Amino acid sequence: MLHPGDALSAKRRLVYVLLLGALTALGPFTIDLYLPAFPTLEQDFDTTAAAIQLTLTGTMIGFAVGQLIVGPLSDKVGRRLPLLIVTAVHVVASTAAALAPDLLLLGGARVLMGAGAAAGGVVAAAIVRDLFGGKRLVVMLSRLALVSGVAPVLAPLVGSWLLGVMPWRGIFIVLAVYGAVMLVCSLFLLPETLPKARRRDRGTTTVGQRYRQVFGDRVFVGVLIIGGMSFSGLFSYLSASSFLFQDTYGFDAQQYGLLFAANSVGVAVGTQLAARLAARFGPQWVLAFSTAALLISAAAIVVTDQLGWGLWGTVVPLFVFMTAAGFTFPCVQVLALDRHGSAAGTAQSIIGATNFGVAGVISPLVGWIAKDAGITATTMASVMVGCSVIAVASLWFVVRPRTVELLTP
């Protein structure tokens, strides 16, 4: 056995996949589940859409900062304690959001909700790295990447359904219950996976040393850029899709939901195929394919829109883009975490904070570019093209695939 997880039974590995996947999904659901309630919140609090959107910004800031705190802490004191404490904060903050009498308190609760949800994805990936390495690490991380890629797309759909059966405050009660279930499951089903000896590995005993270790790795920096750009391309689509497909193409709620579902299938297929291909050929070469596909498909949307090919000229290359993003996400995690087992929490926290932080800055560019003429497929895809160009450049000029060693068995 090369890694502790090699001794686990298939049943136990399944428990890890389900529990860690649910923990990973807590973050995207915390961020996106209430998006369909924005118009209702605007009316109830008698405020502007921009003010309501600030609660989303606050959530993403809390999520990014929370990851940067939880990750290094989990490398120092172990995985369980930070996970339990921060998830408990999420439960309390979600309850406070459900009871918030004004927008200011709702915004404060949302910041704490974001910070509280941060532990799930960071600790889940770190636990996988504690237990697995090499090709099995690829498979396990592909399961988490499936969740992290699909959850942001599905969360608004679930939120729309919840709004049909309960007021907007009920969404935060649902999130509080979700967090409480994760807290109980983590308490009773998730053992500590980081031995005390590994918390004191030479050169990684302090937060500063762990940050210097990961940022001193050229490959880590390169895949960090690739992940941030891929995620930003995904969020550019998410931020523009409701305006593009409902206002421009005339989709109703059901058709819009079907589009989201189809693109979710693309992400799911990409993440699972990536695991098989990365184990055989190496994740760096899967990234060579997927980043090129991101660029070509995003550029195709611009071209087909300019040629006036209409709806199908947009949705077909968009599906390819989402599938290529699915190929990209697990390979980024594998290359980042396989090289930094002693600082896995720190490495994953940097990846998560970068993904959501950069996406939060870049995705609004779609609206800024289209502020005079309105959002079109071209304005949406222009940002996606820019993100893809940076991802391709980072792969070939920073990561340099030919210099990356193959995965161990």
What is the model's pLDDT at position 98?
Answer: 96
Give the C-alpha separation, 80 to 199, whole Å.
Answer: 13
- Closest among 70, 50, 89, 283 to 179, alpha carbons compared: 89
Task: Count CA atoms closer than 13 A to 178's CA, side-chain side.
Answer: 24
pLDDT tens digit sequence for 151-176? 877 887 888 889 889 999 999 999 99
Give the C-alpha separation, 241 to 225, whole Å.
Answer: 24
Centre a 10 Å sphere on the Cβ of residue 242 and count the other Cβ atoms it contains: 15
Give the C-alpha separation, 154 to 163, whole Å.
Answer: 14
What is the model's pLDDT at position 400?
Answer: 95
The answer, yes or no, to whether residue 105 has pLDDT greater than 70, is yes
Backbone angles phi, psi at 204, to 5 degrees: -135, 30
At residue 122, the 3 state secondary structure works out as helix
Hey, what are 285's tokens? 């070469």
The answer, yes or no, to whether residue 203 has pLDDT greater than 60, is no
Hey, what are 160's tokens? 């729309």
What is the model's pLDDT at position 313?
Answer: 95
For the residues 231-239, what does the mean pLDDT come to? 84
- DSSP secondary structure letter of residue 242: I
Give 325's contacts (C-beta < 8 A, 6+ positions apart). Answer: 149, 230, 231, 233, 234, 267, 270, 290, 294
What is the model's pLDDT at position 296?
Answer: 98
The answer, yes or no, to whether residue 45 has pLDDT greater than 60, is yes
pTM of the predicted structure, to 2 decimals: 0.78
Is 212 buried (19+), middle (13-18) or exposed (0-12) by CB count in 10 A?
Answer: middle
Give the C-alpha separation, 70 to 82, whole Å.
Answer: 6
The fraction of the chain above a pLDDT of 90, given in percent, is 38
Confidence class for position 200, pLDDT limits 50, 70, 90: low
Confidence class for position 398, pLDDT limits 50, 70, 90: very high
- DSSP secondary structure letter of residue 194: S
Give the C-alpha separation, 340 to 321, whole Å.
Answer: 29
Give the C-alpha separation, 177 to 94, whole Å.
Answer: 9
Residue carrying the six token digits 């995690």: 333
The answer, yes or no, to whether residue 297 has pLDDT greater than 90, is yes
